[in-house]
Amino acid sequence: MATEEDIRQEAGKNRGEDPWERQLVERLVMASTREQAKTRRWNIFFRFLVLGYFIVLLVMFLWGDGLTDAEAHLEEHTAVIKINDIIAPDDQGISASQVAKGLKKAYKNEKVKGIILEINSPGGSPVQSARIWSSVRDMREEHADIPVYAVIGDVGASGAYYVAAAADEIYANESSIVGSIGVRMGEFGFVDTLEKLGIERRVLTAGDRKTALDPFLPLNEADRAHAETMLAEVHDQFIDAVKEGRGERLVENDEIFSGLFWSGTSARELGLIDGFGDSRYVASELVKAEKMVNYTFEENALDRLLGKFGAGVGEALARYTMQSSLEIR
């Protein structure tokens, strides 16, 4: 009696097919089916992976407020806001908006008994420094019961001292660098460089003074005088802020506002600081709240991601605009 396999083989012979050909076709079909199933599984996996990624971003956006560990503490404590970089606009250093956000968060917490501005910075933007100074002074007036102390580490000079002057009191180490109440503008001159390199520079301007302080042109006296006037105006604003912040504690000395910097020891003699001590000393001995909590504002991951994306789009649009805006025909 013929088996089923014999019958299939006989049928294949009748159709002119060999058994090995039929088996090869079956194997190819099965392999294709398995590959399609595997591809579908990987597609499903990557879809869930992307979905999970966006869920994590959403959670970080909803619950991440840019502060480190400020909310978790219910006991009385001292808020610390760190200014430990160049003072500059957002993404370039410590900005006024970052400090203001940290201050607002600290003042909202009823358990905060004092605020320390922990400063370790050589200064930076006079605009950002002035804005931080104003924010500290304004919030101090609104919350007179919460003292603000500036504690200088290695250096608190120039714009960083501008900020420190807004505090109720300033403390530093005997070896800290303090002061440098002045304004500077510096650049290099390359007047003959391009000519020696065989490069022709083409500059078109509308406005007689638009090339002022151009590094490839000689510095004329009118441009120098204009720049010095501008620097003097900014310097006067700096001086006024320091005088308002320090008041009668400043010693009468013409060198204080000359741009010089001093050690902590000399700074105390000149009235630039109130005493010696670090953040721990200020928190325990002055604020009377030894527990310190970091209120320094930091962007969460989603903010940084969106910021970089926005910056990239803006740069691309600016590049396109620069390439196309002058095509007047």
Arithmetic mean of pLDDT, 286-303: 81
Residues 6+ positions from 126 with CB-CB distance below 8 Å = 159, 162, 183, 234, 237, 238
**What burial letters (b/e) apply to 125-153, b meaning 16+ CB within 10 Å?**
bbebbbbbbebbbebbeebeebbbbbbbb
CA distance 59 to 56: 5
Q: What angle do CA 321, 323, 325 make, to 5 degrees?
A: 55
pLDDT tens, position by position, 93-151 = 899 999 999 999 999 999 999 999 999 999 999 999 999 999 999 999 999 999 999 99
- What pLDDT was estimated at residue 311? 46
Question: What is the Cα–Cα distance from 22 to 10, expressed in whole angstroms?
Answer: 13
Query: Stretch 205-223: mean pLDDT, rounded?
Result: 84
**pLDDT band at residue 185 under the 50/70/90 scheme:** confident
Fold annotation for 77-186+246-299: 2-enoyl-CoA Hydratase; Chain A, domain 1 (3.90.226)
Average pLDDT, the chain: 81
- Report percent pLDDT > 90 for the chain: 50
Q: For the chain, which residues make up each domain, given as ranges?
A: 4-63, 77-186+246-299
pLDDT at 7 over 70: no
Burial class (CB in 10 A: 0-12, 13-18, 19+), 299: middle
Closest C-alpha among 167, 178, 89, 172 to residue 126: 89
C-alpha 18/C-alpha 9 separation (Å) is 8
pLDDT at position 19 is 64
The alpha carbons of the chain give a radius of gyration, in whole angstroms, of 34
pLDDT at 308 over 90: no
Secondary structure of residue 71 in the 3-state scheme:
coil
pTM equals: 0.71
